Amino acid sequence: MLNANAKEYWEQGVPVVPLKGKQPLVDWGRWGTQPQTREDFESLPWHQADGFAVICGTKNAQGLYVAAIDFDVKNVSEEAKQKGREVLNYFPITQLEQTPSGGLHYIYYCTEKPKSISAYHNICGLEVLGEGKLCIMAPSVGYKRLNDNPPTIINGSLEQVFYSALEKA
Protein backbone atom coordinates (compact mmCIF):
# COMPACT_ATOMS: atom_id res chain seq x y z
CA MET A 1 0.00 0.00 0.00
CA LEU A 2 2.67 2.49 1.08
CA ASN A 3 4.93 1.64 -1.84
CA ALA A 4 1.97 1.79 -4.24
CA ASN A 5 0.98 5.26 -3.02
CA ALA A 6 4.56 6.47 -3.25
CA LYS A 7 4.83 4.99 -6.73
CA GLU A 8 1.82 7.03 -7.88
CA TYR A 9 3.71 10.23 -7.03
CA TRP A 10 6.92 8.89 -8.54
CA GLU A 11 5.10 8.02 -11.78
CA GLN A 12 4.00 11.67 -11.94
CA GLY A 13 7.66 12.66 -11.77
CA VAL A 14 7.68 13.62 -8.08
CA PRO A 15 10.65 12.17 -6.18
CA VAL A 16 9.74 10.23 -3.04
CA VAL A 17 11.68 9.29 0.09
CA PRO A 18 10.90 6.31 2.33
CA LEU A 19 10.73 7.14 6.03
CA LYS A 20 10.82 5.41 9.39
CA GLY A 21 8.86 7.75 11.60
CA LYS A 22 9.92 11.15 10.31
CA GLN A 23 13.46 10.03 9.47
CA PRO A 24 14.48 9.53 5.84
CA LEU A 25 15.92 6.06 5.20
CA VAL A 26 18.13 7.34 2.37
CA ASP A 27 20.17 10.39 1.46
CA TRP A 28 17.70 12.24 -0.75
CA GLY A 29 19.42 15.55 -1.50
CA ARG A 30 20.38 14.76 -5.09
CA TRP A 31 16.73 14.29 -6.08
CA GLY A 32 16.04 17.92 -5.31
CA THR A 33 17.92 18.80 -8.48
CA GLN A 34 17.93 15.66 -10.62
CA PRO A 35 15.26 13.12 -11.53
CA GLN A 36 14.69 10.03 -9.43
CA THR A 37 15.16 7.15 -11.87
CA ARG A 38 13.24 3.88 -11.93
CA GLU A 39 16.38 2.19 -10.61
CA ASP A 40 16.54 4.75 -7.78
CA PHE A 41 12.88 4.18 -6.89
CA GLU A 42 13.06 0.40 -7.04
CA SER A 43 16.17 0.28 -4.86
CA LEU A 44 14.57 2.28 -2.02
CA PRO A 45 14.23 0.32 1.26
CA TRP A 46 10.43 0.13 1.34
CA HIS A 47 10.56 -2.98 3.54
CA GLN A 48 11.96 -0.81 6.37
CA ALA A 49 9.59 2.12 5.81
CA ASP A 50 6.41 3.07 7.65
CA GLY A 51 5.97 6.25 5.67
CA PHE A 52 7.10 8.31 2.72
CA ALA A 53 7.55 11.93 1.80
CA VAL A 54 7.58 13.87 -1.43
CA ILE A 55 10.42 16.29 -2.08
CA CYS A 56 8.87 19.73 -2.33
CA GLY A 57 10.13 22.24 -4.84
CA THR A 58 10.73 19.54 -7.46
CA LYS A 59 9.09 19.52 -10.89
CA ASN A 60 6.64 16.81 -11.84
CA ALA A 61 6.23 15.36 -15.33
CA GLN A 62 3.86 18.22 -16.28
CA GLY A 63 6.47 20.82 -15.35
CA LEU A 64 4.69 21.84 -12.14
CA TYR A 65 6.38 22.15 -8.76
CA VAL A 66 5.06 20.28 -5.73
CA ALA A 67 4.59 22.26 -2.51
CA ALA A 68 2.47 22.24 0.62
CA ILE A 69 1.03 24.48 3.26
CA ASP A 70 1.75 22.88 6.63
CA PHE A 71 -0.57 23.80 9.51
CA ASP A 72 1.09 22.73 12.73
CA VAL A 73 -0.98 22.40 15.89
CA LYS A 74 1.81 21.03 18.07
CA ASN A 75 4.24 23.34 19.86
CA VAL A 76 2.30 26.50 18.97
CA SER A 77 0.06 28.67 21.13
CA GLU A 78 -3.74 28.50 21.07
CA GLU A 79 -3.71 32.02 19.64
CA ALA A 80 -1.44 30.89 16.79
CA LYS A 81 -3.70 27.90 16.07
CA GLN A 82 -6.75 30.16 15.94
CA LYS A 83 -4.98 32.60 13.62
CA GLY A 84 -3.80 29.72 11.44
CA ARG A 85 -7.34 28.36 11.08
CA GLU A 86 -8.48 31.81 9.96
CA VAL A 87 -5.68 32.04 7.39
CA LEU A 88 -6.46 28.56 6.01
CA ASN A 89 -9.90 29.80 4.95
CA TYR A 90 -8.19 31.88 2.26
CA PHE A 91 -6.31 29.04 0.57
CA PRO A 92 -7.72 27.34 -2.52
CA ILE A 93 -9.38 23.98 -1.90
CA THR A 94 -6.91 21.21 -2.69
CA GLN A 95 -5.70 17.78 -1.65
CA LEU A 96 -5.91 17.77 2.14
CA GLU A 97 -4.17 15.44 4.56
CA GLN A 98 -4.13 15.24 8.34
CA THR A 99 -0.94 14.76 10.35
CA PRO A 100 -0.66 12.55 13.45
CA SER A 101 -0.94 15.59 15.75
CA GLY A 102 -4.10 16.85 14.03
CA GLY A 103 -2.29 19.34 11.81
CA LEU A 104 -3.00 19.67 8.11
CA HIS A 105 -1.13 19.53 4.83
CA TYR A 106 -2.61 21.39 1.87
CA ILE A 107 -0.88 19.94 -1.21
CA TYR A 108 -0.43 22.10 -4.32
CA TYR A 109 1.25 22.11 -7.71
CA CYS A 110 2.70 25.48 -8.72
CA THR A 111 3.93 27.00 -11.95
CA GLU A 112 6.73 28.80 -10.06
CA LYS A 113 9.34 27.08 -7.92
CA PRO A 114 8.14 27.43 -4.31
CA LYS A 115 10.38 28.86 -1.63
CA SER A 116 10.08 27.49 1.89
CA ILE A 117 8.70 29.94 4.46
CA SER A 118 8.80 29.19 8.17
CA ALA A 119 8.93 32.70 9.65
CA TYR A 120 5.20 32.66 10.51
CA HIS A 121 5.15 29.32 12.33
CA ASN A 122 4.94 30.82 15.82
CA ILE A 123 2.41 33.46 14.72
CA CYS A 124 -0.11 31.19 12.98
CA GLY A 125 1.27 27.65 12.91
CA LEU A 126 1.72 27.85 9.14
CA GLU A 127 4.68 27.14 6.90
CA VAL A 128 5.22 26.79 3.18
CA LEU A 129 6.99 23.53 2.43
CA GLY A 130 8.87 24.43 -0.72
CA GLU A 131 12.31 23.86 -2.15
CA GLY A 132 14.48 21.58 -0.03
CA LYS A 133 11.70 20.38 2.28
CA LEU A 134 10.03 17.02 2.65
CA CYS A 135 6.28 16.66 3.04
CA ILE A 136 5.17 13.42 4.68
CA MET A 137 2.19 11.95 2.87
CA ALA A 138 -0.71 9.64 3.66
CA PRO A 139 -0.85 6.69 4.18
CA SER A 140 2.33 7.12 6.24
CA VAL A 141 1.77 6.02 9.84
CA GLY A 142 -0.61 8.49 11.50
CA TYR A 143 -1.31 10.48 8.31
CA LYS A 144 -4.63 10.30 6.53
CA ARG A 145 -6.16 11.72 3.41
CA LEU A 146 -9.18 13.91 4.20
CA ASN A 147 -10.58 14.35 0.69
CA ASP A 148 -10.33 12.99 -2.83
CA ASN A 149 -9.16 16.23 -4.41
CA PRO A 150 -5.99 16.23 -6.48
CA PRO A 151 -3.45 18.96 -5.78
CA THR A 152 -4.79 22.29 -7.03
CA ILE A 153 -2.59 24.08 -9.54
CA ILE A 154 -1.42 27.51 -8.41
CA ASN A 155 -0.74 29.61 -11.47
CA GLY A 156 2.26 31.47 -10.13
CA SER A 157 3.77 31.52 -6.69
CA LEU A 158 2.51 29.69 -3.61
CA GLU A 159 4.34 32.28 -1.52
CA GLN A 160 2.14 34.98 -3.06
CA VAL A 161 -0.98 32.96 -2.18
CA PHE A 162 0.43 32.47 1.34
CA TYR A 163 1.11 36.17 1.92
CA SER A 164 -2.27 37.11 0.46
CA ALA A 165 -4.04 34.70 2.84
CA LEU A 166 -2.11 36.16 5.79
CA GLU A 167 -3.20 39.67 4.83
CA LYS A 168 -6.87 38.71 4.48
CA ALA A 169 -7.12 36.90 7.80
Q: What is the pLDDT of residues 139-162, one digit of tens each?
A: 999 999 999 999 999 999 999 999
Q: How far is CA 36 from the centre of its chain?
A: 17
- Please provide the size of the chain in residues: 169
Residue 1 pLDDT > 90, yes or no?
Answer: no
Where do the DSSP E strands lie in the chain?
16-20, 23-24, 51-55, 65-71, 95-98, 104-110, 126-129, 134-137, 144-145, 152-154
Q: What is the pLDDT of residue 2?
A: 86
CA pair distance 93, 95, nearest whole angstrom: 7
Residue 3 pLDDT > 90, yes or no?
Answer: no
CA pair distance 2, 127, nearest whole angstrom: 25
How many other β-carbons are positioned within 10 Å of the β-carbon of residue 140?
23
22-48 per-position pLDDT tens digit? 999 999 999 999 999 999 999 999 999
One CATH from 1.10.8, 3.40.1000, 3.30.2250, 1.10.3430 for 2-168: 3.30.2250
CA pair distance 162, 62, nearest whole angstrom: 23
| Average pLDDT of the residues of the chain | 96
Cβ atoms of 124 and 130 closer than 8 Å: no
CA pair distance 50, 2, nearest whole angstrom: 8
Beta-sheet pairing, 95-98 with 104-110: antiparallel
